[in-house]
Amino acid sequence: MQPDAAIPITAPSALSVEADRWLARLRGEGYCIVREAIARDLVQCLADDLADRFERTPFCEGYFYGERTKRFGGVLKRSPHAEAFVRHPLVLEIVEAVLSPFCDRFQLNLTQALQIYPGQQAQPPHRDQDMWGGPKGEMEFLVNVMWPFGPYRSENGATVLYPGSQIGGPGPQAPVYAEMDPGDMLLFLGSTLHGGGENRTARPRSGLIVSYSLGWLKPYENQWLVYPPDIARTFSPELSRLVGYQQHRPNLGNYEGRCPSILLTEEGYDDVLGAVEELLPHQQEALAARAALAAGTTGIAA
């Protein structure tokens, strides 16, 4: 059941002053760079945790992924420090403002660590929303966040963005390089034209991509396989919901008619469960009114 794009499902919560400021830039240009968004020592801890996995990861196959590029997902199970990036308060506030008018709950679309090695050519410009079929232009499908582990410069493959190319923008303007340092973060919309840059240096550039999408879409990274119940049980409740252990009302993504979070409890081990519906507020109200009429009362006190 896909929601009508013209009818907002939920109203975004009131934004903080900081989030409102960055959201205006994000919507106006299609991207924004927040300096010193997280502590550098936390960035280094995450990078250290992933160093061995980078070392063992083979290069990608395919022109788009980049044959001089390494990528791997499932970052939340590879480092206890990853949650601080995935659940960064400013990021979640902005993501909710962008996506919540068109979904009941947004979800984690992917976590992907990547290294662009010397000799990697520039990635073809693209819009990440195009991973899903269908017409575009009425809503944002996702929000991306990039966290650099080292300096991102035009010379070493910093992301190339085309301001104004997002939904409602004036059209692609002259490209810019997202030059950043550890602790900074880049946010850009799924409708923004962009691509990885060419690495013309002698060293790889490394970082983390975190992406959030509308909760009724199939995510890029199959979260339930990446984080099965035995892993998700070690997550905070907020994180487990973000990776998919929640229903998207009405009743989408259920397990035996129940919220899949039941798999993280002892009750979830029971093979015989009764279905429990989870509807949107306006649907609950409509059904309650129908039930009241069927019972011969309007439900309005005399």
Lowest mean pLDDT among 48-52, 111-115, 294-298: 294-298
Domain count along the chain: 2
Is residue 7, in this structure, part of any structural domain at all?
A: no
CA atoms of 240 and 218, how far apart (whole Å): 17
Task: Indicate if 85 and 162 belong to the same structural domain.
Answer: yes
Task: Indicate if 232 and 111 belong to the same structural domain.
Answer: no
Three-state DSSP state, 52: helix
Task: Indicate if 82 and 208 belong to the same structural domain.
Answer: yes
Q: Which helix (H) or strand (E) holds 148?
A: strand 142-148
Q: Would strands 176-177 and 106-116 be described as parallel, antiparallel, or unpaired?
A: unpaired
Tell me, what's the pLDDT at 291? 87
pLDDT digits (tens, 9 = 90+) for 12-23: 578 999 999 999
Tell me, what's the pLDDT at 268? 72
Whole-Å CA distances, 173 to 81, 140, 201 = 37, 20, 26
Question: Which of 221, 242, 273 marks a domain boundary?
Answer: 221
Is residue 11, in this structure, part of any structural domain at all?
A: no
Is the pLDDT at 169 greater than 80? The verdict is yes
- Burial (CB < 10 A; 0-12, 13-18, 19+), residue 14, is exposed
Beta bridge partners of 111: 210
Question: Which of 221, 238, 260 marks a domain boundary?
Answer: 221
Question: Which of 203, 221, 239 marks a domain boundary?
Answer: 221
CA atoms of 92 and 88, how far apart (whole Å): 6
Domain of residue 278 covers 222-302
pLDDT digits (tens, 9 = 90+) for 121-168: 999 999 999 999 999 999 999 999 999 999 999 999 999 999 999 999
What is the average pLDDT value for the chain, to the nearest integer? 92
Residue position matching structure tokens 């924004």: 32
CA atoms of 191 and 130, how far apart (whole Å): 8
Task: Indicate if 190 and 233 belong to the same structural domain.
Answer: no
Is residue 39, in this structure, part of any structural domain at all?
A: yes
Eight-state DSSP code of residue 113: E
Task: Indicate if 211 and 66 belong to the same structural domain.
Answer: yes
Task: Indicate if 254 and 191 belong to the same structural domain.
Answer: no
Task: Indicate if 208 and 284 belong to the same structural domain.
Answer: no
pLDDT digits (tens, 9 = 90+) for 24-66: 999 999 999 999 999 999 999 999 999 999 999 999 999 999 9
Is residue 188, in this structure, part of any structural domain at all?
A: yes
Task: Indicate if 127 and 174 belong to the same structural domain.
Answer: yes
pLDDT digits (tens, 9 = 90+) for 239-288: 999 999 999 999 999 999 999 999 999 887 777 888 888 888 888 888 88
Is the pLDDT at 6 greater than 70? The verdict is no
First to last CA, the chain: 38
Angle (CA) 87 91 92, round 5°: 60
Task: Indicate if 88 and 180 belong to the same structural domain.
Answer: yes
Is residue 78, in this structure, part of any structural domain at all?
A: yes
Q: Which structure tokens are listed for 292?
A: 């009241």
Three-state DSSP state, 237: helix
Lowest mean pLDDT among 84-88, 157-161, 221-225, 272-276: 272-276
Beta carbons within 8 Å of 62's beta carbon, 6+ residues apart: none
